[in-house]
């Protein structure tokens, strides 16, 4: 009796372990999908998993509505919506998904991700679909080419993300500045910043320009100033040439340091909530159209405005972009493309503009978009049209880490801009050499 | 002879049963700890990037480690964190345990209150403390302002960031030390204190000559587990500071995570893990050798 119990116990443990280990196998997704198709209420339905970057509630609402509309138009396809926060969390989730064979079928992620994930085969080339796509000629050419790696299209742009100067009109008025005349040049920005800084003793209680001093997203702020100073990217991805330590880039970092020296409220760019602009303690900052949408609510509603990109040598701004990617592991390529095509339609694009303020990426919508706010929207459209975005290189994460380390050193006064960026360039060059 | 056979059969039966009983634990240990350790050893000598087939790289990863400034900083930070978290946490845990080792109706309430932080998720606690340390609206700065002091930058200050994390970790863990010390206190016979009282010993002498020596095994246990836990500090660092500012809070496990999961250098991250394991074993062995004297105090 006792022996039987012991044997039963051992067998149960082995079965449990085998079941557990089976869950770690590569075939997990397929098995789940097949069983879902057979046992589910709708056996003919194809089930896709869609993972998008970010957790903003208004974007979630948009995606849920878009997915519902798509499923209504395509009753044979069911889409499971998933989301995950920006940055390290999303990278980890995606890495785990691909490593365990449970990667989503459709992925909404950043341009920079192409650099690392295309060589690993995690994104599928979309050329055969795009070449037969009616919307191709109407799609903004730059947006289409930004989704390409080595002449193959891997991503279809969905959320252009130009970094815009956002300012608080009320704080401008309090400082005696004209709220309808935001700064257009670096000199003006510095002048405004000085006028807007308020101190109590040594503590800064209100800053002019809200800029982070640490964290893993500082490179976006740096990229804005760098592009306004005529540098097109942190790295020239075509020639694998490091650009983050050129004279113009160093000048951009020095300008950021000058702003900090005049008085800023320090915050960590990993925690967007800490941005003093969101709490009315900074009069200006850089953000995207979604940030503007979020901040323009509650106590700040109607008090903030967007400004056209500034200039030092060129009127430019950093324009990131998020894309829809087809997973390299998906079995349902046709269905995934159907979804991407649906999301890239003129109707959905205009809905994104109306719901979220996201600029449309179709030539046929350009005039309609610009007419709504000619000065701002033309500048935004141009920023997207000429933007280069993040470097699409396999070592992109190492570039960001090196540049962010350098910027932290500059902002904390540990090293001067040239020394810090030269060190970053050396680190990046080592990564290039190791490729 | 017959009796011997019966005893042998019984022993054999009980052996099999014992093996069956320990099998789940050993099986779990083998599958989820022992095998992964060997796999990590293997990966540490390859250029594994999670997705493509690993190729042998010899000792390149280990050699690169010694030239990696970030890794060296992370070792220093981890040691700093371990020393400044562990000893105050043990001291506080002991103090609270002694204060709560008496009879009162309110004691369960206090004991529960001290222990609650330990059962809460580190992620939730980190988020709460992130708000406490918020330079603009954080409770800590509001208190400072109330007393007319200047607000501090806490997690944005290179000198304050690590102490802030340490403070939070002590607060979270001292409840655990308290519970273990309380269990240690209950095992000390009252007769020893009675005898000491008769000899005219005061509370300090009783603590120094009875409580402290009798709690050595408990302290040793907490020390060893505390070292291992402190070496693997990660969640609070990743959530509260991301290793910054200026890498003043990055730790070994944080570096392993960044290299492995964000830069896809899983081979290199594995080499870091092996170093961490070796380091943990070394320090634990050192503590076992020099910190475990007087464990067997005979009170019979």
Position A348 confidence tier, pLDDT thresholds 50, 70, 90: very high
What distance in Å separates the CA atoms of residue A183 and residue A185, rounded to the nearest whole number?
A: 6
Contact B67/A at CB under 8 A: no
What pLDDT does residue A380 have?
80
Position A27 confidence tier, pLDDT thresholds 50, 70, 90: very low
Mean pLDDT across A105-134: 91
Average pLDDT, chain B: 88
Mean pLDDT across B237-243: 91
The CATH number of B66-291 is 1.10.3720.10
Q: Is the pLDDT of residue A101 over 90?
A: no
What pLDDT does residue B51 have?
72
What pLDDT does residue A33 have?
42
A30-44, B100-114, B139-153: which range is least confident on average?
A30-44
Domain boundaries of chain A, sorted by first residue: 45-162+321-386, 164-317+395-434
- B68 versus B14: the higher-pLDDT residue is B68
Per cent of chain B over pLDDT 70 is 92
Position B247 confidence tier, pLDDT thresholds 50, 70, 90: very high
Which chain A positions have a beta carbon within 8 Å of B242's beta carbon? 88, 214-216, 268, 270
What pLDDT does residue A44 have?
76
Cβ pair B261:A398 closer than 8 A: no
Contact B290/A at CB under 8 A: no
Average pLDDT, chain A: 86
Which chain A positions have a beta carbon within 8 Å of B24's beta carbon? 9, 13
What pLDDT does residue A23 have?
46
Domain at A164-317+395-434, CATH homologous superfamily: Periplasmic binding protein-like II (3.40.190.10)
Cβ pair B136:A276 closer than 8 A: yes
Give every CB contact of residue A113 below 8 A, 6+ residues apart in sequence: A94, A325, A396
* Prediction pTM value: 0.79
Contact A397/B at CB under 8 A: yes
What pLDDT does residue B124 have?
93
What distance in Å separates the CA atoms of residue A313 and residue A407, rounded to the nearest whole number?
A: 21
Which of left, alpha, beta for B50 (phi over 0: left; psi -120 to 50: alpha)? Answer: left
A84-93, A281-290, B40-49, B218-227: which range is least confident on average?
A84-93
pLDDT in tens, B192-213: 999 999 999 898 999 999 999 9
pLDDT in tens, A236-274: 888 889 999 999 999 999 999 999 999 999 888 887 778
3 state SS of A232: coil
Which chain B positions have a beta carbon within 8 Å of A270's beta carbon? 242
Question: What's the CA angle centered on B167, arms B162 and B172, to 5 degrees?
Answer: 125
Q: Is the pLDDT of residue A321 over 50?
A: yes
Mean pLDDT across A360-387: 84
Between helix A186-196 and helix A247-262 the angle, nearest 10°, is 20
Kind of pairing between the strands at A46-53 and A77-84? parallel
What pLDDT does residue A288 have?
84
Contact B153/A at CB under 8 A: yes
Specify whether the CB–CB gap between A132 and A363 falls below 8 A. Answer: no
Q: Is the pLDDT of residue A40 over 60?
A: no
Comparing CB atoms, the residue among A2, A266, A414 nearest residue B156 is: A266
Position A37 confidence tier, pLDDT thresholds 50, 70, 90: very low
In this structure, the dihedral spanned by the alpha carbons of residues B142, B145, B147 and B152, taken in order and rounded to 10 degrees, is 90
Cβ pair B246:A9 closer than 8 A: no
Mean pLDDT across A111-116: 86
Question: What's the CA angle centered on A273, arms A287 and B144, to 5 degrees?
Answer: 130
Question: What's the CA angle centered on A324, arms A319 and A328, to 5 degrees?
Answer: 125
Question: Which residue out of B15, B241, B250, B261 would a mutagenesis test of the A interface target, given it has the greatest number of A Cβ atoms within 10 Å?
Answer: B261
pLDDT in tens, A375-402: 678 778 877 887 778 888 888 888 998 9
CATH topology classification for A45-162+321-386: D-Maltodextrin-Binding Protein; domain 2 (3.40.190)
Q: Which residue of chain B has the CA closest to A399? A: B263
What distance in Å separates the CA atoms of residue A213 and residue A256, rounded to the nearest whole number?
A: 10
CA A279 to chain centre: 23
Mean pLDDT across A203-210: 91
Q: Is the pLDDT of residue A52 over 70?
A: yes
Question: What's the CA angle centered on A212, arms B231 and A383, to 5 degrees?
Answer: 125
Contact B137/A at CB under 8 A: yes
In Å, how far is A254's CA from the nearest CA of chain B? Answer: 18
What distance in Å separates the CA atoms of residue A266 and residue A286, rounded to the nearest whole number?
A: 15
Contact A116/B at CB under 8 A: yes
Mean pLDDT across A104-122: 90
Per cent of chain A over pLDDT 90 is 52
How many other CB atoms are found less than 10 A from the CB of residue B176?
20
CA distance between the termini of chain A: 63
pLDDT in tens, B20-78: 999 999 999 999 999 999 999 999 999 988 777 888 989 999 999 988 999 999 999 99
What pLDDT does residue A269 have?
87
Contact A294/B at CB under 8 A: no
Which chain A positions have a beta carbon within 8 Å of B133's beta carbon? none
Per cent of chain B over pLDDT 90 is 59
Mean pLDDT across B94-100: 91
DSSP-assigned states of every residue in A295-338:
HSSGGGTTTEEEE---BSSSB---EEEEEEEEBTT-S-HHHHHH
pLDDT in tens, A64-98: 999 999 999 999 999 999 999 887 788 888 988 98
What pLDDT does residue B9 have?
65
In Å, how far is B38's CA from the nearest CA of chain A? Answer: 18
In this structure, the dihedral spanned by the alpha carbons of residues A48, A49, A52 and A56, taken in order and rounded to 10 degrees, is 100
């Amino acid at each position: 009796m006792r022996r039987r119990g012991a044997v039963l116990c051992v067998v149960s443990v082995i079965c449990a372990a085998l079941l557990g280990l089976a869950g770690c196998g590569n075939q997990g997704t397929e098995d789940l999908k097949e069983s879902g198709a057979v046992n589910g209420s709708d056996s003919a339905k194809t089930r896709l998993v869609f993972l998008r970057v970010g957790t903003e509630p208004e974007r979630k609402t948009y995606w849920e509505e878009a997915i519902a509309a798509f499923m209504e138009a395509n009753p044979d396809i069911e889409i499971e919506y998933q989301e995950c926060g920006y940055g390290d969390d999303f990278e980890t989730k995606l890495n785990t998904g691909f490593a365990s064979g449970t990667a989503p079928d459709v992925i909404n992620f950043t341009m920079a991700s192409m650099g690392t994930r295309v060589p690993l085969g995690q994104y599928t080339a979309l050329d055969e679909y795009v070449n037969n796509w009616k919307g191709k000629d109407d799609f903004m050419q730059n947006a289409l080419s930004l989704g390409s790696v080595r002449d193959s299209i891997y991503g279809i742009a969905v959320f252009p993300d130009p970094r815009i100067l956002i300012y608080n009109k009320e704080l401008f008025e309090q400082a005696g500045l004209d709220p309808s005349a935001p700064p257009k040049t670096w000199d003006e920005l510095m002048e405004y910043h000085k006028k807007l800084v308020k101190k109590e003793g040594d503590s800064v209680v209100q800053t002019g320009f809200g800029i982070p001093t640490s964290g893993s997203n500082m490179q976006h702020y740096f990229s804005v100033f760098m592009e306004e100073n005529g540098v097109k990217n942190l790295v020239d991805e075509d020639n694998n040439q490091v650009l983050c330590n050129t004279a113009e880039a160093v000048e951009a970092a020095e300008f950021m340091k000058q702003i900090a020296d005049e008085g800023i409220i320090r915050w960590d760019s990993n925690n967007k909530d800490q941005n003093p602009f969101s709490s009315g303690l900074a009069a200006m900052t850089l953000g995207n159209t979604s940030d503007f949408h979020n901040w323009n609510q509650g106590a700040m509603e109607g008090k903030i405005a967007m400004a056209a990109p500034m200039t030092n040598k060129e009127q430019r701004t950093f324009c990131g972009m998020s894309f829809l990617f087809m997973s390299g592991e998906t079995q349902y390529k046709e269905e995934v493309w159907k979804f991407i095509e649906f999301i890239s339609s003129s109707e959905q694009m205009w809905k994104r503009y109306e719901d979220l303020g996201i600029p449309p990426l179709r030539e046929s919508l350009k005039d309609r978009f610009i007419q709504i706010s000619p000065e701002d929207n033309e500048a935004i459209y141009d920023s997207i049209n000429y933007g280069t975005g993040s470097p699409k290189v396999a070592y992109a994460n190492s570039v960001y880490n090196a540049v962010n380390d350098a910027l932290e050193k500059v902002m904390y006064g540990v090293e001067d801009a040239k020394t810090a960026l030269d060190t970053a360039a050396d680190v990046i060059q080592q990564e290039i050499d190791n490729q | 002879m017959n009796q011997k056979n019966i005893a042998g059969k019984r022993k054999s039966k009980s052996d099999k049963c014992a093996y069956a009983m320990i099998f789940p634990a050993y099986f779990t240990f083998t599958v989820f700890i022992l095998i992964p350790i060997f796999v990590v050893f293997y990966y540490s000598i390859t250029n594994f990037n999670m997705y493509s087939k690993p190729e042998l790289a010899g000792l390149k990863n280990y050699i690169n480690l010694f030239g990696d400034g970030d890794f060296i900083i992370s070792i220093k930070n981890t040691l700093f964190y371990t020393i400044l978290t562990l000893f105050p946490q043990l001291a506080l845990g002991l103090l609270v345990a002694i204060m709560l080792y008496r009879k009162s109706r309110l004691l369960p309430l206090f004991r529960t209150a001290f222990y609650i932080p330990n059962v809460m998720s580190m992620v939730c606690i980190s988020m709460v403390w992130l708000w406490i340390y918020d330079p603009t609206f954080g409770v800590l700065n509001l208190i400072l302002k109330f007393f007319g002091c200047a607000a501090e930058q806490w997690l944005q200050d290179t000198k304050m960031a690590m102490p802030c994390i340490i403070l939070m970790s002590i607060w979270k863990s001292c409840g655990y030390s308290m519970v273990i010390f309380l269990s240690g206190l209950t095992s000390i016979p009252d007769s020893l204190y009675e005898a000491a009282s008769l000899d005219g010993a005061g509370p300090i002498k009783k603590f120094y000559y009875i409580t402290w020596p009798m709690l050595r095994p408990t302290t040793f246990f907490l020390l060893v587990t505390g070292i291992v836990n402190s070496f693997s500090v990660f969640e609070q660092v990743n959530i509260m500071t991301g290793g910054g500012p200026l890498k003043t809070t990055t730790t070994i496990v944080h570096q392993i995570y960044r290299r492995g999961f964000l830069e896809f250098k899983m081979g290199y991250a594995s080499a870091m893990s092996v170093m961490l394991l070796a380091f943990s074993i070394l320090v634990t062995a050192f503590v076992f050798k020099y910190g475990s004297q007087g464990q067997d105090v005979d009170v019979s």
